[in-house]
Amino acid sequence: MTGSKIAAIDLGTVSSRLLCTTMRDGVPADSRKHTVITDLGEGVDATGRFTDAAVERVLHTCADFVEEARAYGAQAVSTTLTSAARDASNGAELLDGLRALGLIPQVIPGEVEARLTFYGVAHDFPAQRIAVMDSGGGSTEFALGSYVPGTALDLDEAQSLDIGCRRATERFFNALPPAGEELEALSAWAHEQFARFWGHAGKRPDRLVAVGGTVTSLVALVHELAVYDSHFVHLRDLTQEQVDSCIERMAGMTAEQIAALPGIQAKRAPVILAGAVVIREAMRTGGYDCLTVSENSLLAGAAATIAEALAGKVTSIGWTPELAML
């Protein structure tokens, strides 16, 4: 559908995100993004439940998102929930609250999350075989394969692992700065998880592309971006040596000290160190000295999939979003 205005909401473990965009011949244009750190997954790894405060934060943010989408003129919106919602036993309150806002929430499996992210990223690498990693708050998704525009995705692997910056922080760190043995235990655990994945993943693509707030924040830290610049960050390389330097820099700091670093959002400061360790171990076990950071993500894949659904097409990723009409 040429020129259709659409919106996609993604509610993750750490961040709630909105993308409003105009799809022209299947390509997003005039895109507007809004990200709010809502920490939906706070405490979920330990308790298996959302806190009332977290649900309230997300619902308040989504009420604002709905107004933004309407003001943009979006005709339809999808709402996806990922790792934290897959884990929480009391998700009904959140889902009911989202429905009361006129949204149709979908708790998506990790494999669908991986496919959506790959689809969003792969448009920048047409016909190239790549590995895409989305390391979030509660999980890390991998998708390996290629995409030729106008065809279905050709994926060798799409898998979700229960390892992310929020889960890792709560499981291994009692406080910041962490004790040396806590940092070592996290590194060993992450290494084991990722080594198992890469061990059965077959031939590894030459390029690893990573998305998510951890890697974008690390680029901002490396280049000391006092004001975040998505155009600068998009398709920027991040080396394992740079990630190591960031870990060494933050390992002896409190959350307040990390928050004072250039490029680090205050609300991300408590989880960025563990997130950086997760990224480093994914690179180490995969044999990647360098990765490419993408600003495209699940939201971009969702937008393209929404456009296909509105046009009555079979979706490229084999999953169909449920759309709320605004």
pLDDT at 133: 98
Quote the Cα angle for 294-299-305, to 5°.
115
146 and 219 housed in the same domain: yes
139 and 211 housed in the same domain: yes
Q: Are residues 135 and 214 in the same domain?
A: yes
Looking at the fold, whether 256 and 129 belong to one and the same domain comes out as yes
pLDDT at 150: 81
The CATH number of residue 269's host domain is: 3.30.420.150
Shared domain for 136 and 219, answered yes or no, is: yes
Predicted local distance difference test score (pLDDT) of residue 26: 72
What pLDDT score was predicted for residue 202? 87
Domain for residue 314, yes or no? no
Section 280-292 average pLDDT: 98
Q: Is residue 307 part of a domain?
A: no
Q: Rounded mean pLDDT of the chain?
A: 95
Give the span between the Cα atoms of 300 and 317, in whole angstroms. 13
The tokens of 27 are what? 């390509």
Do 271 and 138 lie in a common domain? yes
Domain extent at residue 99: 4-108+321-325
Question: In the chain, pLDDT over 90 holds for what percent of residues?
Answer: 93
Biggest alpha carbon–alpha carbon distance for the chain:
56
Reported as a single tens digit per residue, the pLDDT across 97-131 is: 999 999 999 999 999 999 999 999 999 999 999 99
Residue 142 counted as domain residue:
yes
* Same structural domain, 247 and 134: yes
Flag whether 315 is in a domain: no
Residue 2 pLDDT greater than 60, yes or no: no
Residues 93 and 177 placed together within one structural domain of the fold:
no
* SS3 of residue 123 by DSSP: coil
* One domain, residues 145 and 198: yes
The predicted model gives 6-18 an average pLDDT of 97
Residue 95 domain flag: yes
Grade residue 251 by pLDDT with cuts at 50, 70 and 90.
Answer: very high
> Which band of pLDDT confidence, cut at 50, 70 and 90, is reported for residue 1?
very low
Domain count, the chain: 2
Average pLDDT, integer, range 131-155: 94
Residue 163 in domain:
yes
Q: Which CATH number goes with the domain that contains 76?
A: 3.30.420.40
DSSP state string for 21-75: EEEETTEEEEEEEEEEE--TTTTHHHHSS--HHHHHHHHHHHHHHHHHHHHHT-S
* 95 and 44 within one domain: yes
